[in-house]
Structures are given as structure tokens and as C-alpha cells.
Amino acid sequence: MVATDFDSEREFDDDRFRAHVLAESAAQKVVMGYFRPGQFIPVHAPDSDVAVTVHEGEGIVREGETDHRVGPGSVVVVPAGEARGVRAESELTATLVTAPPPGDAAHDPVRRGLARGEFEPET
């Protein structure tokens, strides 16, 4: 069992969002995300469901073609194969639970977007 809290794990990166993997199995992956204003997870569409729960801060969670404004207590669930991304408007902390965990190749658009500084990277 893993038991922790946002304050204990809190660590930001000035260059890009920080994803702290809290737990991972063949069935799911739990990540604590820490974002400075303007940082993001680029839009991508892996073959896994994701649930994003915002703990602190404000931002946007993309679900398909819809941008959801989120704040503390917001939950957005995006089904497998649907485009998703997260962009912070203020310092933002959230949990992201994916099931099943996407493979490494599914994150190629994320890596491209981060390298180019693009929230919506070209495919």
C-alpha cells in the first residue's frame, strides 16, 4: 500500500511539469502531477482511460475537442483513444490515474510537444 500526500511529494521543475509516479501495476498507473503556470502535458490520445483530479490551482483539461476549466476538486475522466492534455494557468497539483498504463510509444506525442513547447503537437 502507498500512502502519502501532496505536500510530502511536492516538487516542481522550472522547465516542465513534474510527474511523480506514486504507484504502477499492469492495471493502472497513479501519478502526482506538479505544474508551474503555463506548463502542460501535450495533447495525445493513448489507448488508456485517464482520470484527472485537481488538488490545487486552476487550468484546462482537454477532453477530445472540449477544454474543461478546472480548479480544486474538479475531476475529468477521458476514455481510451480520446485526445487529452493538461495545461496549468496557475501553480497546479493533480493526480492522474491511467488504466491500463500506456506504453512508451503512446507518449511520443508528449515528448514531441514538450521538445517543441507545443500543447497541441503535430502528429
Each domain of the chain, given as residue ranges in start order, spans: 21-115
What one-character DSSP code corresponds to residue 16? S
CA 35 to chain centre: 9
According to the model, what pLDDT value does residue 123 have? 58
Half-sphere exposure of 3 (CA within 13 A, CB side): 1
CATH code of the region 21-115: 2.60.120.10
pLDDT, tens digit (0-9, with 9 covering 90-100), for 25-55: 999 999 999 999 999 999 999 999 999 999 9
Whether the per-residue pLDDT at 122 is higher than 90: the answer is no
Contact in structure between 108 and 76 (CB atoms under 8 Å): no
Taking the model in full, what pTM does it have?
0.91
